[in-house]
């Protein structure tokens, strides 16, 4: 059977309260009972000594006793639950509580028995008489026999105290139980409300509604982490949905132009409007090459993004690799009137040389496209502990701040016009990022519109 978190927490709090109350009740009764027994026995001894002192003071010498006071002491003792007998030095009975009021003595013994049997049913006890000698000037002049229920007894006042104590413990336990139930409801509500909200948001996300967010606040770290995670997930999925829609639009846009060109040229030549001369066939061929290149880039990206990507790692000088790539680009930079410089010391790295070459080529190619005539591109290699940092910096057009988070997405380009002179298929940076991440590295970009961009490629020296 399944229960929600509110029910479970409430039950948990109630169980804790019940167990705690039970332990406290048992331990309190054991502790109080032990000390109360000691207290009762000490109190009985004090009463016995008081009776002995009172009887001793009634001896007047020469075998004479103040019987009136002895009678008063005996009656008072009887009311306290003690049955006494007073004998002289010869053993003759001077005063006997049973002779004074035998019925009351029987009721006292029965009451003691009932109290003890109620409170301590496992203790074997009974009526016992304990003799105490009476001395006058160091001479024994008589004996006092004090009878009571042994080994100790509880009178009505003692039983009332114990019952009151148990009642107080019971009331406290009930109050604690109700408080635990109330506290459990409050705590469970504070915990379950944001969790329930997260569940609702997650269900909406599963149905494709990514705009909903969890706004409930909590001072519980785990709850805050959960709400932040689900909000980040919703935001990420929402962004991906937008990018997916844009991807569809971008692919359609990229394919529409060459296909439309091919269709119009072919229809014109089929209808006899144009002659199928070399110039028009060459134009169609260029569009076909552009389509093939785009399909090839998509296939390459799919290959790199798959989990089956194979890296042929070798040890090589990455600075020398950068130098060779820059050397190959120099004619293109010279034709456009853009300067390029390269710097860095020899740095060995363990990586896939061909794939790292493609990353550097893609980034330098973008720098060339977006740097106007008279601009400058600088490439340098630097070692930072166990990281090799490759930086490609230009003073070209720059990237708008709103476009920076999406610059590595497929087909994403900051130039929405998709000018063929400034942009390719929009997959180059996506491929670069995939290759770098497959090497356990990362690629980052810092840019300001109108001032230029700096792409930073960080790769571990050894893996």
Domain with residue 10: its CATH number is 3.30.450.20
Domain with residue 417: its CATH number is 3.30.565.10
Q: Choose the final residue of a domain: 139, 170, 201.
A: 170
Tell me the pLDDT tens digit for each residue of 201-226: 888 888 888 787 877 777 778 778 88
Cβ–Cβ < 8 Å for 78, 101? yes
Residue 387: beta bridge partners?
A: 384, 460
Confidence of residue 99 (pLDDT cuts 50, 70, 90): confident
- Whether omega before 151 lies within 30 degrees of 0, making that bond cis, reads yes
Tally of domains within the chain: 2
The reply to whether 29 falls in a domain is yes
Question: Can you tell me the mean pLDDT for 100-118?
Answer: 71
Minimum mean pLDDT among 341-345, 385-389, 401-405: which range?
Answer: 401-405
Minimum mean pLDDT among 30-44, 89-103, 259-273: which range?
Answer: 30-44
> What is the distance between the alpha carbons of residues 38 and 44, in angstroms, rounded to a whole number?
10
Q: Choose the final residue of a domain: 133, 149, 170.
A: 170
* pLDDT, position 368: 92
> What is the distance between the alpha carbons of residues 179 and 185, in angstroms, rounded to a whole number?
10
* pLDDT, position 124: 66
Phi and psi angles of residue 339, each rounded to the nearest 5 degrees, phi first: -85, 150
Minimum mean pLDDT among 142-146, 166-170, 261-265, 293-297: which range?
Answer: 293-297
Q: What is the mean pLDDT of the chain?
A: 81
Determine the structural domain holding residue 113 and report its residue range. Answer: 5-170
DSSP result, 390-445? EEEEE-SS---GGGGGGTTSTT--S-TT--TTT---S-HHHHHHHHHHHTT-EEEE
Q: Choose the final residue of a domain: 170, 197, 221.
A: 170
């Amino acid at each position: 059977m399944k229960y929600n978190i509110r029910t479970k927490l409430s039950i948990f709090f109630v169980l804790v309260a019940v167990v705690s109350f039970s332990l406290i009740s048992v331990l309190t009764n054991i502790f109080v009972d032990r000390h109360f027994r000691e207290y009762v026995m000490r109190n009985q001894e004090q009463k016995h000594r008081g009776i002995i002192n009172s009887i001793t003071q009634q001896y007047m010498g020469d075998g004479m006793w103040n019987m009136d006071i002895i009678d008063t002491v005996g009656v008072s003792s009887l009311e306290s639950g003690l049955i006494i007998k007073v004998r002289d030095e010869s053993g003759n009975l001077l005063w006997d509580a049973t002779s004074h009021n035998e019925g009351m003595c029987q009721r006292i013994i029965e009451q003691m028995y009932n109290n003890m049997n109620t409170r301590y049913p496992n203790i074997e006890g009974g009526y016992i008489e304990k003799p105490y000698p009476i001395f006058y000037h160091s001479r024994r002049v008589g004996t006092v026999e004090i009878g009571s229920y042994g080994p100790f007894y509880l009178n009505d006042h003692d039983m009332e105290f114990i019952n009151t104590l148990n009642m107080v413990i019971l009331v406290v336990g009930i109050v604690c139980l109700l408080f635990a139930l109330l506290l459990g409801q409050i705590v469970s509500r504070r915990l379950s409300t944001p969790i329930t909200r997260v569940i609702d948001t997650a269900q909406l996300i599963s149905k494709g509604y990514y705009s909903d967010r969890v706004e409930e606040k909590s001072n519980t770290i785990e709850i805050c982490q959960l709400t932040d995670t689900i909000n980040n997930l919703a935001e990420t999925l929402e962004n991906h949905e937008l990018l997916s829609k844009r991807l569809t639009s971008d692919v359609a846009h990229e394919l529409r132009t060459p296909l439309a060109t091919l269709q119009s040229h072919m229809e014109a030549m089929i209808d006899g409007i144009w002659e199928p001369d070399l110039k028009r066939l060459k134009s169609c061929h260029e569009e076909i090459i552009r389509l093939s290149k785009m399909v090839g880039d998509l296939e390459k990206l799919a290959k790199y993004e798959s989990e089956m990507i194979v890296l042929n790692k070798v040890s090589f000088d990455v600075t020398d690799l950068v130098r060779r790539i820059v050397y190959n680009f120099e004619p293109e930079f010279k034709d456009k009137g853009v300067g390029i410089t390269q710097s860095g010391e020899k740095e060995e790295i363990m990586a896939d040389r061909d794939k790292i070459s493609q990353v550097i080529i893609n980034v330098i190619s973008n720098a060339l496209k977006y740097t106007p005539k008279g601009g400058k591109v600088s490439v340098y290699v630097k070692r930072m502990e166990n990281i090799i940092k490759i930086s490609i910096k230009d003073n070209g057009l720059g990237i708008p701040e709103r476009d920076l988070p999406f610059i590595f997405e497929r087909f994403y380009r900051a130039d929405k016009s998709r000018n063929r002179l400034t942009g390719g298929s929009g997959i180059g940076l996506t491929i670069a990022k995939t290759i770098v991440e497959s090497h356990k590295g990362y690629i980052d970009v810092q840019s300001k519109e109108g001032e230029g961009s700096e792409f930073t490629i960080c790769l571990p020296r050894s893996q």
